[in-house]
Amino acid sequence: MYQIFVVEDELLIRQSIRNAIEHMQGPYAFCGEASDGEMALSIMQDLMPDILLTDIRMPFLDGFGLIKHARAMMPWLKVVIISGYGDFEYAQKAIDLGVDQYLLKPVRSQDLVRVIEEMAARIEKEKAQSAIPGGFRRDEVNQALRQRFTRQLLFDGADAATLIEQARTLDLDIIRACYQVTVCLFDAQDPDQKLLRLRVEQIMSVEEQTLYEFTAEDQLAILVCEGSEEALDERMYRLIGILKHELRDLCPVITAVIGTSVRRLAAISSSYRAAASLLKRVSTVSAGQVINAADTVQVAADIVSFDGVFGRDFLERISRAGAQDVPALLDSALSGPDGSAFDSTLMRYYGLIDLMRIAVQLIQRRSPGEDRKDIAARLSAKYDIFASSGDRDSFRRAAEGLLTDALGAARQTPADQKYAHVISQAEQYVRENYCDPNISLLSAARHVGMSSAHFSTVFSQTTGRPFIAYLTALRIERAKELLRTTNMRLSDIAMEIGYNEPNYFSHVFRKTEGVTPKEYRRDSQSEA
What pLDDT does residue 465 have? Answer: 78
Q: Are residues 27 and 168 in the same domain?
A: no
Mean pLDDT (the chain) is: 80
CATH number at residue 160: 3.30.70.270
The answer as to whether 378 is a domain residue is yes
Residue 285 has pLDDT above 60, yes or no: no
Q: What is the pLDDT of residue 401?
A: 87
Q: What percent of the chain has pLDDT over 70?
A: 84
Last residue of a domain, which of 385, 410, 435? 410
**Rounded average pLDDT over 229-241:** 86
Question: Do 387 and 359 belong to one domain?
Answer: yes
Segment holding 45, helix H or strand E = helix 37-47
Q: Which of 410, 443, 469 is the last residue of a domain?
A: 410
Asked if residue 161 and residue 103 are part of one domain, the reply reads no
Residue 305 lies in a domain: no
CATH number at residue 506: 1.10.10.60
Q: Where does the pLDDT of residue 311 fall: very low under 50, low under 70, confident under 90, or very high at 90 and above?
A: low
pLDDT in tens, 373-388: 777 777 776 777 766 7
> Is residue 369 a part of any domain in this protein?
yes
Inter-residue contact 68 to 41 (CB < 8 Å): no
Residue 152 scores a pLDDT above 90: no
Question: Which of 9, 95, 98, 20 lies closest to 56, judged by CA?
Answer: 9
Give yes or no: residues 227 and 162 share one domain.
yes
Residue 156, pLDDT above cutoff 50:
yes
Residue 61 and residue 108 in one domain? yes
182 and 154 in a common domain:
yes
Give residues with Cβ within 8 angstroms of 494, minimum separation 6: 479, 500, 501, 502, 504, 505, 506
46 within some domain: yes
Number of domains in the chain: 4
Are residues 245 and 199 located together in one domain of the fold?
yes
Q: For residue 70, name the pLDDT band (cuts at 50, 70, 90).
A: confident
Please state the length of the chain. Answer: 528
Using pLDDT thresholds of 50, 70 and 90, give the confidence band for residue 133: very low
pLDDT at 267 over 60: yes
Q: Decide if 304 is inside a domain.
A: no
User: Which range of residues forms the domain containing residue 190?
Assistant: 140-289
Is the pTM higher than 0.85? The answer reads: no
Residue 232: inside a domain, yes or no? Answer: yes
Domain-located, residue 115: yes
CA distance 95 to 88: 10
Reported as a pLDDT band with limits 50, 70 and 90, residue 493 is: very high
- Would residue 282 count as lying in a domain? yes
Give the pLDDT confidence score for residue 1 in this predicted structure.
Answer: 80
Q: What is the pLDDT of residue 182?
A: 94
End-to-end C-alpha distance for the chain, whole angstroms: 41
Per-residue pLDDT tens over the stretch 421-461: 788 888 889 999 999 988 888 889 889 988 888 888 888 87
Is the pLDDT at 417 greater than 80, yes or no?
no
pLDDT tens-place string over residues 92-114: 788 778 889 998 888 889 999 99
Over range 488-502, report the average pLDDT.
89
Amino acid (one-letter) located at 47: L
pLDDT for res 303: 25
Domain boundary among 95, 130, 165: 130
